[in-house]
Chain A
Amino acid sequence: MRKTNLYILLLALFALAGSAQAQNFKLPPYQKVQLPNGLSLYLMEQREVPLISVSAVLPAGTIYEQNSPGLAGVTADALMFGAGNRSKQQIEEELDFVGASVSTWATKETARLQASFAKKDAALVLGIVRDLLVAPRFDAQEWEKMQSLRLVEYDQAKESPRSVIADYYNAFVWGDHPYSRSSAGTKASLQAITIQDIQNFYKRTYTPGGAALAIVGDFDARQMRKQIQALFKDWKGKGQPAQQLAQAPQPQEARVLLVNKPDASETTFYIGGPGVARNNPDWVAIQVVNTILGGRFTSWLNDELRVNSGLTYGARSNFDSYKQGGTFAISTFTNSESTEAAVDLALKTYQRLHQQGIDAATLESAKNYVKGQFPPRYETASSLASLLTDMYWYGFDESFINGFQQQVSALDVARANAIAKKYFPADKLQFVLVGKADALKDLSKKWGTVSQKEIKDDGF
């Protein structure tokens, strides 16, 4: 492989983008209705292939879990512990038999369900989706099994710096803020969670009033609407009042968190600070500027750290955006011995954004790139279904998508540089380094005030 999958993740950020050559690209028509129980339903017919995708979003992410870290993620998993008149094993067998996929998970803000199946299996799979959301059984024995599994997986995840560094970074940058929490929770909390806790969390957060369901694929919208209304008619409950979160903490000084992994041969690191909320009016322009810095193969960071110096297999930068805030981070990894060179080069490259700024040719190239890579993001029913639930959760509509092309095209050099200054933190940077702390401790003082954690300790 020539490039890491990180780039693919990054491209996902452009899921709301417009298309360069498709001047006439428009989001296909869809309907949005609110059912009597408050559930928002989005329906988009895409009749070319006999497949259907479902995406559901509920306000049941980690910010709602109060004193039990991990409860949101566990509850999303537990939907599959049997539902309606089927056990966990029966659900899995019936879905596997028709080659359908259904998955559930939690993010910082939301719980999500995604399903994909053949048109001919719609009655079966939609019935199961309904049962998962409306009539989960929360079998205690299944929770016991899942609990031991998750505890082992918790330690396994920490054996891969790449899979946990974002959790450490979020905890470090967000501090006491609700966004600091990982959906993995803590081992102590996972051990303490009972099936009753799961049930209570479900009752409080899995209500139709705050939820949306998007269905995209080969069906008749009128019939589908009737079918969904009938299936979900017994689901009751208002949405929770919108939760106003505290402001994102502003860093007071440059700080370095060392996460000690004594057997590491690499240093994996993030450098960054506060970012922006998903509804920031400059969001599209920020993505274009980030493309230049660290969002594509020829980005400044990848060019310097990989192509020019061979210090790493890949370097990038990224904005993680939520409803009420976000973070920015440069991320890469290098051999333990070249840590200083790589961090310094990342910083030096990043400074170009503030000191030299962006030139016209680079901006033009980035604009073409962002526009040209956009249309494939909408090729499948699943990607369209996710888009519709994102529109619901973040509160935007198709005008944003249909106007994206124009927004990108309109970005000029002066504004791109203003965006760089305004949104890319210039100082008081926050560093997380996962690696051999002994070798990094003294060195790290040059970047900020150093603190240290053991990777084997509970939490992040």
Chain B
Amino acid sequence: MRKLVLLGLLCCATLAQAQNTPDDVKTFTLDNGMKVLVLEDHSIPNANMYLFWKVGSRNEYPGITGLSHFFEHMMFNGSKKYGPKEFDRTMEAAGGSNNAYTTENVTVYTNWFPSSSMETIFDLEADRIASLDLNDEMIESERGVVLSERSTSLENSNWSKLHDHLKGAAFLAHPYRWTVIGYESDIKNWTKEDLQRYFETYYAPNNAVVVIVGAVKLEEVKRLARQYFGPIPAAEPPRPVHTVEPAQEGERRVLVHKSVSTPKLMMGWHTPSTSHQDYYALDLLNSILSSGNSSRLYKALVDERQLATSVFSYVPESFDPNLMYLYASASKPDNEAELEAAIHEVLETFIKEGPSERELQKAKNGKLMELYRSLETINGKANTLGTYELFFGDYRKMFDAPKEYEKVTAEDIRRVAAQYLTRHNRTVGIVKDLSTELTDAQD
């Protein structure tokens, strides 16, 4: 990025002196309900188009788990004007590239291109949104691709399986129970009709937010959006996800076998959705616990007591109440109990004492630098604007973030730790080599 977006952001006094204001982001909504955000940035001769669709694995049910993600793949496999393979071929020949990702909450399509190719991108996107053509052969070969994606993650990460099992234990009712990739049997069995229904239900323009950042002119974007996206009809809004996860009333534990050199430990505590007032305090709590080598958990577990080789925690952005996660890799083949006890000890102390003023300030400074770095590039800007628009309800909240973090007190953070990081609210998962125990059990 070549302009100040947020700032005086760095620290303390001058937070409000933004050189670039929320008003620099222009928005308009097409008659069919599609909302478009545009930020002109001429620092490089490129631009991007991010399409955020409000559909993710929370919109699935048993039998079609993983379908949101599979659908994401199918969006590249042919539509009326651009048949199979033509989407990528046309885009790359125009100097563009693309990717996409699916989460529990959203599906996001990302296009990066030289500004001069913008019309091609509109044409490609409009064609697949208006008239996706689900081709039987492509469905079958894509099934193989997604099965490979699933298995390569299991092959290369010792966390995948554990994550899968931990979510299944932490959630009884809410669809956050399964992972985004879905169950293998569902991947193998969903049908073309399932896909078609998904397309009709969720891929209507009124269920999307489009963000365009880069060397573009607002008027040109408006013209192309009206021309290409305008004619696509709106649809009945999808039925809301109404399932509320029942309160957890006691610790849950899961044990998973895998031949690992040292055990892995994962914990999850139920926490509120991103739009909840506690979000900023939880996010700062997360930083204080595990961001950087001077964080509480790293210092205690890796540096001082050497019980873990790494520790990490995070709070996902989420439409519905979700989990705060903690991951730790044990340093020995059999010290996971000691590691777990040490984690609880760190958390208990924290809940009693809360953060020091310096820790609080450190977390705030870190958050601001993080946000700032994400706005260094046109892609970071597009992704961050879209994320705030969807999860915080308004892209303008991005500009308020420094102020919101600044408001949080040490007591706020202690309180959220005390409220959410309780024993009865947690699920603990461990993956370790259980081959001895499994053999014993068979005897």
Given A265-B155, A266-B151, A298-B88, A48 and B97 touching (CB < 8 A)?
Answer: no
- B419 contacts A by Cβ under 8 Å: no
- Contact yes or no, B293 A92, CB < 8 A: yes
- Contact yes or no, A97 B362, CB < 8 A: yes
Cross-chain pairs A/B with CB under 8 angstroms, 12 sampled: A2-B101, A20-B114, A25-B45, A89-B293, A89-B299, A93-B294, A98-B369, A99-B368, A265-B151, A303-B85, A333-B148, A368-B92
- Contact yes or no, B88 A376, CB < 8 A: no
Which among B93, B101, B147, B367 has the highest number of chain A CB atoms within 10 Å?
B93
What number of A residues sit within 8 Å (CB to CB) of B? 72
- B275 contacts A by Cβ under 8 Å: no
Across the A-B interface, give the 4 residue pairs with the lowest CB-CB distance, nearest first: A372-B95, A310-B144, A99-B369, A365-B93
- Contact yes or no, B45 A21, CB < 8 A: yes
User: In the bound complex, what is the Cα–Cα distance between A262 and B155 (angstroms)?
Assistant: 12
Given A48-B1, A373-B97, A313 and B149 touching (CB < 8 A)?
Answer: yes
Q: Which of B188-196, B225-233, B373-381, B421-429 contacts A (4 or more CB under 8 A)?
A: B373-381
Given A97-B362, A310-B143, A148 and B331 touching (CB < 8 A)?
Answer: yes
Q: Which of A149-157, A270-278, A317-325 contacts B (4 or more CB under 8 A)?
A: A149-157
Taking the nearest CB of chain B, how far is it from the CB of A165, in angstroms? 10
- Contact yes or no, B3 A48, CB < 8 A: yes
User: In the bound complex, what is the Cα–Cα distance between A333 and B148 (angstroms)?
Assistant: 8
Given A160-B156, A365-B93, A99 and B366 touching (CB < 8 A)?
Answer: yes
- Contact yes or no, A308 B141, CB < 8 A: yes
- Contact yes or no, B44 A379, CB < 8 A: yes
**Chain B residues near A264 (CB, 8 Å)?**
155
Within 8 A of A (CB), among B87-135: 88-89, 92-102, 112-117
* Chain A facing B: main interface SS: mixed
- A390 contacts B by Cβ under 8 Å: no
- B370 contacts A by Cβ under 8 Å: yes
- Contact yes or no, A159 B261, CB < 8 A: yes
**Chain B residues near A7 (CB, 8 Å)?**
97, 99
- Contact yes or no, A379 B142, CB < 8 A: no
- A220 contacts B by Cβ under 8 Å: no
Closest to A372 in B: B95
- B394 contacts A by Cβ under 8 Å: no
- A335 contacts B by Cβ under 8 Å: yes
Which among B3, B43, B44, B113 has the highest number of chain A CB atoms within 10 Å?
B44
**Chain B residues near A296 (CB, 8 Å)?**
92, 97
**Chain A residues near B149 (CB, 8 Å)?**
1, 313
Taking the nearest CB of chain A, how far is it from the CB of B302, in angstroms? 8
**Chain A residues near B266 (CB, 8 Å)?**
none
Closest to A308 in B: B141
Which among A100, A116, A306, A310 has the highest number of chain B CB atoms within 10 Å?
A310
Taking the nearest CB of chain A, how far is it from the CB of B288, in angstroms? 10
Given A92-B294, A265-B155, A380-B376, A22 and B85 touching (CB < 8 A)?
Answer: no
- Contact yes or no, B294 A21, CB < 8 A: no
- Contact yes or no, B376 A152, CB < 8 A: no
Given A372-B95, A376-B46, A92 and B101 touching (CB < 8 A)?
Answer: no
**Chain B residues near A93 (CB, 8 Å)?**
294
- A226 contacts B by Cβ under 8 Å: no
User: In the bound complex, what is the Cα–Cα distance between A298 and B76 (angstroms)?
Assistant: 12
- A234 contacts B by Cβ under 8 Å: no
- Contact yes or no, B369 A265, CB < 8 A: no
**Chain B residues near A313 (CB, 8 Å)?**
145-146, 148-149, 152
- B309 contacts A by Cβ under 8 Å: yes
Within 8 A of A (CB), among B134-178: 140-149, 151-152, 154-158
Given A96-B362, A97-B362, A376-B379, A161 and B156 touching (CB < 8 A)?
Answer: yes
- A222 contacts B by Cβ under 8 Å: no
- A232 contacts B by Cβ under 8 Å: no
- Contact yes or no, B372 A96, CB < 8 A: no
- Contact yes or no, B94 A334, CB < 8 A: no
- A16 contacts B by Cβ under 8 Å: no
User: In the bound complex, what is the Cα–Cα distance between A414 and B116 (angstroms)?
Assistant: 29
User: In the bound complex, what is the Cα–Cα distance between A163 and B73 (angstroms)?
Assistant: 25
13 further contact pairs, Cβ within 8 A, besides A96-B293, A307-B145: A2-B101, A48-B4, A50-B4, A96-B294, A97-B365, A160-B157, A162-B152, A266-B152, A372-B95, A375-B45, A378-B44, A379-B43, A379-B44
